[in-house]
Amino acid sequence: MTILKLNNVSITFGGLKAVSNIDMTVEKGQIVGIIGPNGAGKTTLFNLLTGMYAPTSGEILLYKDNPIKLNGLKPYKITGHGIARTFQNIRLFRDMTVLDNVKIGFHSRTKCGFLSSVIRLPSYYDEEKRVREDAEELLKMLNLDNKKHEFAKNLSYGEQRRLEIARALASEPSILLLDEPAAGMNPNETIELTHLITWIRDKFNLTIILIEHDMKLVMGICNKVYVLNYGNLIAGGTPDEVQNDPQVIEAYIGSESA
């Protein structure tokens, strides 16, 4: 079943077409990889999917009960529709605790209004308690519960990446976008992360789209891989299909010799 579809999506910055006429279909429950040399348009694509940029042309459709057109929606609306992300350069609240970082992730789901929060109605305390319990539960699942009172900045790199994932999961997404989750990790952390990604997909019933340069990770866990080069989609298929695609080989060899 299709959960996300891009029809002829482009975005232009000045004269540069950073993403050009992209067609993409993502099936529910799959892990989809987006690869390509530096500057290929991968992060721009995530920015389009999360409402940070609006496409210059084309449409992005999310299939829930009915198709929802995501073009031009504000990021918080898109989060509300169930798309969450992590960032290439980790974006945590570094001077806040691990627990508070995750509690903030629940914000898009909390119902307490401004007034009940300010005058501290019982509904505020009920919600606060529920958010705390849910956040602690998530931290347990991501093996960070023993760090919940640490400042985020004191965590190791691998732990910070897990915390970002925990925070993204707090918004109860149906689609999780991971931007270079293995960047900066050592080989052991990358192996752990690989297991974690498939585990959270199954546990939380997610569809995952990930940008990654670590080919072992991509080819090991993705059901489908899309390859971008200079903003164009040059291949899309199973890991085996794209690895043997002459255009893909050329793009990577070309980028290495550049």
Ligand X SMILES: Nc1ncnc2c1ncn2[C@@H]1O[C@H](COP(=O)(O)OP(=O)(O)OP(=O)(O)O)[C@@H](O)[C@H]1O
| Rounded CA separation 136/196 (Å) | 18
**Site membership for ligand X, residue 254 (CB under 6 A):** no
8 Å CB contact between 230 and 258: no
Q: Name the amino acid, one letter, at 172.
A: E
Shortest distance (Å) from residue 38 CB to ligand X: 3
Q: Which of 6, 40, 84, 165 binds ligand X (CB under 6 A)?
A: 40
Q: Are strands 67-69 and 57-63 parallel, antiparallel or unpaired?
A: antiparallel
Q: CB nearer to ligand X: give 18 or 163.
A: 18
Q: Name the amino acid, one letter, at 73.
A: L
Which backbone phi and psi does 26 adopt, to 5 degrees? Answer: -115, 125
**Site membership for ligand X, residue 237 (CB under 6 A):** no
Q: Which of 42, 85, 147, 224 binds ligand X (CB under 6 A)?
A: 42
Shortest distance (Å) from residue 163 CB to ligand X: 21
Q: Which of 2, 8, 13, 57 binds ligand X (CB under 6 A)?
A: 13
- State the Cα angle at 85 between 80 and 91, rounded to 5°: 115
Q: Which of 3, 26, 32, 36 binds ligand X (CB under 6 A)?
A: 36
**Site membership for ligand X, residue 51 (CB under 6 A):** no
Residues in region 63-122 near ligand X by CB under 6 A: 88
Q: Which of 18, 31, 78, 98 binds ligand X (CB under 6 A)?
A: 18
**Site membership for ligand X, residue 184 (CB under 6 A):** no
Burial class (CB in 10 A: 0-12, 13-18, 19+), 32: buried
Shortest distance (Å) from residue 212 CB to ligand X: 10
Burial class (CB in 10 A: 0-12, 13-18, 19+), 71: middle
